[in-house]
Amino acid sequence: MLIDHDRHLDAYLDQDAAQRIGGLWELAASSPHALVHLPLRGNPAPSRDLPAAGTRRLDLVLLHHSLQFAPSRWKEVRGRLGPGRPGAVTLPGAGRSDGAVVDPEARHYRENRDLFHQHLHAETLFMTGSAKVFGVTARHFFDVARNGPGYVPVHPSYPYFCTELHSNDGVLGDAREIHIEYCDQWDS
């Protein structure tokens, strides 16, 4: 589930979803001609209390900046999408960070493309960036998938395992922070 809180975004994921989204994040890194759509709005909510005022659920689209896709066209494109068909891809080094880092000083250069940019249109968050920035940040999702299930049962007084794409990480251009939290209990 992806929630828009105006100032930041919250992603609530179980182990399977975190692993899958990490893989799709890597797909966005390795396939610059792909537009990756994750229809998240219809999913169940976490069974904990979430702030309702000023929030809305979002779908997510991951795409490489070179596609130059106009989010204003999304409603038309989404309307033409069918149910899709299952497919499989093999990603080199899936689930592992390649160790590359984004140069924090480079974010000040006008031509820098190693930053995420976000656009919101038709209840969908568009995360646009370079292969490098998608590859470097996929680790956040794999971290939640790997560590969340073991952390929550051991820490009953604070059962929240999380990570985030933070403004100090040097990966967010005109993008809001994304708080990524492991959640193992969902409303039906």
Tell me, what's the pLDDT at 15? 94
CA distance 172 to 98: 19
Mean pLDDT (10-residue bins), the chain, 188 residues: 90 94 93 90 73 78 92 90 75 53 52 80 94 93 95 85 90 90 77
Predicted TM-score of the model (pTM): 0.84
Tell me, what's the pLDDT at 53? 58
Angle subtended by helix axes 15-30 and 139-154, to nearest 10: 170
Q: Where are the beta strands (DSSP E) in the chain?
A: 2-4, 9-13, 35-38, 56-64, 117-121, 124-129, 162-165, 178-182
Tell me, what's the pLDDT at 6? 80
| pLDDT tens digits, one per residue of 6-60 | 889 999 999 999 999 999 999 999 988 889 999 998 887 776 655 565 678 999 9
Tell me, what's the pLDDT at 98? 47
Question: For 48, which DSSP code?
Answer: S
CATH numbers and ranges of domains, the chain: 2-47+56-75+98-182 (3.30.1360)
Sign for the pseudo-dihedral over CA of 28, 71, 74, 178? positive
Q: Kind and range of the H or E element at 164? A: strand 162-165
Tell me, what's the pLDDT at 139? 95
Q: Cα-flanking dihedrals φ and ψ of residue 29, to 5°?
A: -75, -35
Tell me, what's the pLDDT at 133? 92
Q: Cα-flanking dihedrals φ and ψ of residue 156, to 5°?
A: -65, -25
Tell me, what's the pLDDT at 91? 65
